[in-house]
């Protein structure tokens, strides 16, 4: 039974030791430090605004309260602007700084309320706005994408909320409590419960956000692994079916058609020209032939020097793989005939086709795997391609490939029996003349 793409990625992750999960965790740790720096800049801005508001309070309402809050605001600015950046550079464990920062942020409203109690009295403190900011800070803790931090923020906020009320309660008169029952312990306990619930809500937001980001990251990794397995020029339809798990990547036997193509007289060209010119030429050549192969539902399996090994009939099932390979071979010859070589000559290629049973699968080590084909069919296709030089025909096919293609517009001419290196018996070789209309 075939494995889905996700299962293959998971298996590779286990075999690779640290795996993708470790890479993602490292990226998250790096992102956490970056986010703390961003949060610090935002906190500095809020500190400046808060300090300005405190100065206004000092000048217009209550000098003692305003100047006390102004000093507190300056301390916040100094911490986030000067102290925290240095700590981020020196402390390796980011989670320690995150706990400290969450504690500071959740405690800010409580500290302001404590100042209100000392300067303006308990009644003023419990009716003022700073305590309400605790809810905002607790929910905002979810942006750090750590559930434990959010839950901690919720409980810390609840405890501080209750503590501030306990300190302020003696200054609240019975008459005021009678007229405003919302200032009593009952409502305070309810607000504490809301803060705890807010912490869990922030934890849910953190969990969903991190899960979604990890899922997106894994999908990107899967696409990159598909690129490693199949290369750039593969039919999008095939890639999508592999991603959905409809095509197996495990070892299996299958009858396919192998296409092997090679550039005529490439060796003297490679050693007689500038490397940059040769590489640019090869890139353009490979681009043209790979596009043709993908257009006919083939898969470029690998490049061997200037040679191209392609498979038709895998990984997707294709009953007409031999015919598609024949059409691709003829189109490859046409597509490259107008390509000039670095030496000024036109490009001439030879293509060999052979059909037979191979073993296909994702093969390799922990750090590098390839979806490849193994079998005598591959060697035979290469041997047939080598005959194109002596026989003067750009495309040659074995009898097995011709029979597999059938009579659906295929035009061939038998060139008789030929010995192939490594094979005990001669092989009947056919010159491919035409293969009917191309699909689409």
**323: CATH:** 3.30.70.1230
List of long-range contacts for 33-37, beta carbons under 8 Å, 24+ apart: 33/88, 33/94, 35/143, 35/144, 36/84, 36/88, 36/94, 36/97, 36/98, 36/101, 37/85, 37/88
Same domain flag for 83 and 209: yes
Contact criterion met (CB below 8 Å) for 166 and 227: no
Looking at the domain assignment, is residue 196 inside a domain? yes
- Tens of pLDDT, residue by residue over 281-328, are 999 999 999 999 988 989 888 888 889 999 998 877 888 999 999 999
Looking at the domain assignment, is residue 299 inside a domain? yes
Contact criterion met (CB below 8 Å) for 366 and 17: yes
* Confidence at residue 196, expressed as pLDDT on a 0 to 100 scale: 93
Q: In the chain, what is the straight-line distance between the N-terminal and C-terminal CA atoms, in Å?
A: 33
Q: What's the rounded Cα separation, in Å, for the pair 56 and 414? A: 99
Q: What's the rounded Cα separation, in Å, for the pair 36 and 143? A: 11
Residues in the chain: 440
Q: What are phi and psi of 335, to 5 degrees?
A: -70, -25
pLDDT at residue 6 is higher than 80: no
Looking at the domain assignment, is residue 238 inside a domain? no
Same domain flag for 204 and 287: no
* Confidence at residue 27, expressed as pLDDT on a 0 to 100 scale: 67
Same domain flag for 213 and 329: no
Q: What's the rounded Cα separation, in Å, for the pair 308 and 329? A: 11
User: What dihedral do alpha carbons 314, 316, 317, 318 form, nearest 10°?
Assistant: -80
Same domain flag for 205 and 265: no
Same domain flag for 302 and 394: yes
Looking at the domain assignment, is residue 232 inside a domain? no
**Of 224, 253, 273, which one is at a domain's C-terminal end?**
224
Least confident of 75-89, 137-151, 324-338: 75-89
Same domain flag for 43 and 135: yes
Contact criterion met (CB below 8 Å) for 391 and 425: no
Q: What are phi and psi of 361, to 5 degrees?
A: 170, 170
Same domain flag for 212 and 307: no
Same domain flag for 309 and 167: no
Looking at the domain assignment, is residue 230 inside a domain? no
* Confidence at residue 237, expressed as pLDDT on a 0 to 100 scale: 58
Same domain flag for 130 and 275: no
* Confidence at residue 18, expressed as pLDDT on a 0 to 100 scale: 44
- Tens of pLDDT, residue by residue over 74-114, are 887 887 788 877 877 777 777 788 888 888 888 888 888 88
Joined tokens for residue 71? 């000093």
- Helices of type H across 231-260: 236-243
Q: What's the rounded Cα separation, in Å, for the pair 40 and 79? A: 9
Contact criterion met (CB below 8 Å) for 244 and 5: yes
Same domain flag for 220 and 260: no
Looking at the domain assignment, is residue 207 inside a domain? yes
* Confidence at residue 2, expressed as pLDDT on a 0 to 100 scale: 38
- Pairwise pLDDT comparison (95 vs 392), residue with the higher score: 392
* Confidence at residue 197, expressed as pLDDT on a 0 to 100 scale: 93
Q: DSSP class of residue 181?
A: G
- Tens of pLDDT, residue by residue over 153-202, are 899 989 988 888 888 888 887 777 777 777 888 888 998 999 999 999 98
pLDDT at residue 224 is higher than 70: no
Domain count, the chain: 2
Same domain flag for 257 and 156: no
Q: Which domain covers residue 285, as residue numbers? A: 244-435
- Pairwise pLDDT comparison (247 vs 281), residue with the higher score: 281
pLDDT at residue 233 is higher than 50: no
* Confidence at residue 171, expressed as pLDDT on a 0 to 100 scale: 83
Looking at the domain assignment, is residue 237 inside a domain? no
Q: DSSP class of residue 347?
A: P
* Confidence at residue 416, expressed as pLDDT on a 0 to 100 scale: 92
Same domain flag for 257 and 189: no
pLDDT at residue 227 is higher than 50: yes
Q: What's the rounded Cα separation, in Å, for the pair 173 and 182? A: 13
* Confidence at residue 355, expressed as pLDDT on a 0 to 100 scale: 94
pLDDT at residue 14 is higher than 60: no
**Of 168, 195, 224, which one is at a domain's C-terminal end?**
224
Residues 221-246 have a mean pLDDT of 57
Q: What's the rounded Cα separation, in Å, for the pair 238 and 253? A: 18
**Of 195, 224, 253, which one is at a domain's C-terminal end?**
224
Looking at the domain assignment, is residue 233 inside a domain? no
Residues 342-355 have a mean pLDDT of 92
* Confidence at residue 152, expressed as pLDDT on a 0 to 100 scale: 92
* Confidence at residue 236, expressed as pLDDT on a 0 to 100 scale: 58
Residues 136-153 have a mean pLDDT of 86
Q: What's the rounded Cα separation, in Å, for the pair 431 and 79? A: 81
Percentage of the chain modeled with pLDDT above 70: 80
- Tens of pLDDT, residue by residue over 415-435, are 999 988 877 788 899 999 887
Mean pLDDT of the chain: 80
């Amino acid at each position: 039974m075939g494995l889905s793409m996700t299962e293959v990625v998971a298996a590779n992750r286990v075999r690779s030791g640290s795996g993708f999960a470790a890479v993602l965790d490292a990226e998250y740790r790096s992102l956490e430090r970056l986010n703390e720096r961003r949060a610090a800049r935002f906190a500095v801005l809020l500190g400046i605004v808060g300090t300005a508001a405190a100065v206004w309070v000092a000048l217009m309402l209550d000098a003692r309260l305003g100047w006390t809050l102004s000093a507190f605001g300056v301390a916040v600015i100094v911490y986030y602007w000067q102290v925290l950046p240095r700590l981020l550079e020196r402390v390796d464990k980011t989670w320690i700084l995150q706990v400290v920062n969450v504690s500071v942020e959740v405690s800010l409203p409580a500290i302001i309320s404590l100042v209100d109690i000392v300067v303006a009295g308990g009644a003023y403190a419990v009716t003022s706005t700073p305590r309400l900011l605790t809810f905002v800070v607790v929910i905002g803790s979810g942006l750090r994408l750590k559930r434990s931090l959010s839950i901690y923020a919720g409980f810390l906020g609840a405890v501080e909320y209750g503590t501030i009320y306990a300190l302020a309660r003696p200054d609240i008169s019975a008459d005021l409590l009678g007229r405003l029952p919302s200032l009593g312990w009952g409502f305070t306990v309810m607000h504490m419960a809301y803060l705890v619930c807010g912490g869990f809500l922030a934890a849910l937001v953190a969990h969903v956000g991190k899960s979604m980001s990890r899922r997106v990251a894994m999908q990107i990794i899967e696409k990159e692994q598909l690129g490693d397995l199949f290369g750039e020029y593969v039919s999008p339809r095939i890639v999508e079916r592999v991603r959905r798990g409809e095509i197996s990547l495990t070892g299996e036997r299958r009858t396919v058609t192998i296409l092997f193509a090679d550039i005529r007289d490439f060796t003297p060209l490679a050693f007689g020209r500038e490397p940059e010119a040769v590489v640019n030429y090869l890139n353009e050549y490979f681009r043209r032939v790979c596009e043709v192969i993908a257009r006919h539902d083939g898969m470029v399996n690998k490049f061997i020097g200037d040679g191209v090994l392609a498979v038709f009939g895998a990984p997707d099932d294709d009953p007409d793989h031999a015919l598609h390979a024949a059409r691709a071979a003829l189109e490859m010859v046409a597509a490259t005939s107008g390509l000039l070589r670095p030496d000024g000559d036109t490009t001439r290629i030879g293509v060999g086709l052979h059909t037979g049973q191979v073993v296909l699968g994702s093969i390799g080590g922990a750090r590098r795997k390839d979806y490849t084909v193994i079998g005598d069919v591959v060697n035979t296709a290469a041997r047939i391609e080598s005959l194109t030089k002596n026989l003067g025909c750009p495309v040659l096919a074995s009898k097995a490939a011709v029979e597999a293609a059938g009579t659906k517009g295929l035009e061939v001419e038998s060139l008789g029996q030929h010995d192939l290196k490594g094979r005990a018996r001669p092989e009947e070789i056919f010159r491919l003349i035409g293969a009917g209309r191309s699909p689409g």
